[in-house]
Amino acid sequence: MNRYDFVYLFDVKDANPNGDPDAGNLPRVDPETGHGLVTDVCLKRKVRNYVAIKHGNKSPFEIYFTEGSVLNRTHLRAYQKVGLKHELKKLPKDVEKAHAITAFMCSNFYDIRTFGAVMSTEVNCGQVRGPVQLSFARSEDPIVSSEHAITRSSVTNEADAEKERTMGRKFTVPYALYRAHGFVNPFLAEQRCFDDKDLDLLWDALLNAFQFDQSAARPAGSMAARSLIIFKHEKPLGSAPSHVLFNLVTITRQNESKPARDFSDYLVVIKKDDLPQGVTIIEKP
C-alpha cells in the first residue's frame, strides 16, 4: 500500500448539504468567515451508504455503523467466531485471542478497517485506528442560507381538522463549491488489512457519494462530486508533507462581479510543475 493524500471537491445547488441540528437544521457555517461546512462524519456516512448499497451489506463489506443496529449484538459475533464468552467491558487476557476478535471485526466490516472504530463497550472488541481520515469540507466562498416557508396540507388528529394548516421552514444554499482533504496511512492500512480493492472502493464511493443520497433536503442532481485529485507517494513515509501537496490545488472565481451559481464559475488549477519528486497525480473522474 502506498501513502495517499487527496483533495475532494463537490458542490451543492439549491439544497442543504449538512444541516446543523443545534441550529434548527440550518446549513453548517463558520461563524467568523461565513464559509459553509460539511463534517467528516457526514462524508463518511455517504461512503458507508454507498458501500452498503453496492455490496448488499455482506461480508467482507458489511457496515458496522448502520441505522438501528445494536453494536453489542454485533460484537458477540466476534466472540462466537473465536469461541469465547465475553467478560463485561474487558478484552480477553490472551493477546492472540484479543487480536483475533478485533481482526474479525476489521475483516468483516469495511468501515471499521477504513475509518476505524471504538468498540470498547460492554462486549469489548477493542479499538481500531483507521488508515483513512477525512477533514471537514469547507466552501470556497461564504455561503448564503436561503429560508423558505412551507405548509402541510394535512393534519394528524381529528381534533385538528378545523385548525389552520401547520407551517414550517426549509433551508437551502443557492450554490457552493466545497473542498475536503483526505489521507491514507499505509502503515495502518497494513495493520487493518485495508488493501487496494478497499482503496478502489473508497474512490468509487467518494465519486458516487451523492447518487443515492437524494432526499427532500437534497433533490436529485443538487449535489455532485466534481473532482477527486489524488497524490500518490512512492515511499510509504511519503515524499512531501500533505499541506505542500494540498497547496498545489488552487481554486479561483472566473468572475468576481457576480455570485457563483455553477461549477463552471470556478477555475481549478493543479500546479503540476511544482510537484515534488516521488509523487504522482491521479485525477478522477
| DSSP string of 184-197, one letter each residue | E-HHHHHHTT--HH
CA atoms within 13 A on the CB side of 53: 14
User: Is residue 28 within 8 Å of 18, Cβ to Cβ?
Assistant: yes
Distance CA 234, CA 172 (A): 43
Give the containing element (helix H, strand E) for 280: strand 279-284
Q: Is 190 among the domain residues?
A: yes
Residue by residue, pLDDT tens for the chain (285 residues) are 899 999 999 999 999 999 999 998 999 999 999 999 999 999 999 999 999 999 999 999 999 999 888 999 999 999 999 998 888 999 999 899 999 999 999 999 999 999 999 999 999 999 999 999 999 999 999 999 988 888 877 777 777 766 666 677 899 999 999 999 999 999 999 999 999 999 999 999 999 999 999 998 899 999 999 999 999 999 999 999 999 999 999 999 999 999 999 999 999 999 999 999 999 999 997
Q: Is 54 among the domain residues?
A: yes
Q: C-alpha distances in angstroms, 247 versus 5, 161, 240, 260, 270?
A: 12, 59, 12, 22, 9
**Domain count within the chain:** 1
Q: Is 80 among the domain residues?
A: yes
Q: Is 156 among the domain residues?
A: no
Q: Whole domain around residue 214: which residue ranges?
A: 4-148+170-284
CA atoms within 13 A on the CB side of 228: 18
User: Cell 479561483 identifies what position?
Assistant: 252
Q: Is 165 among the domain residues?
A: no
Q: Is 91 among the domain residues?
A: yes
pLDDT for the residue 164: 66
Amino acid at 99: H
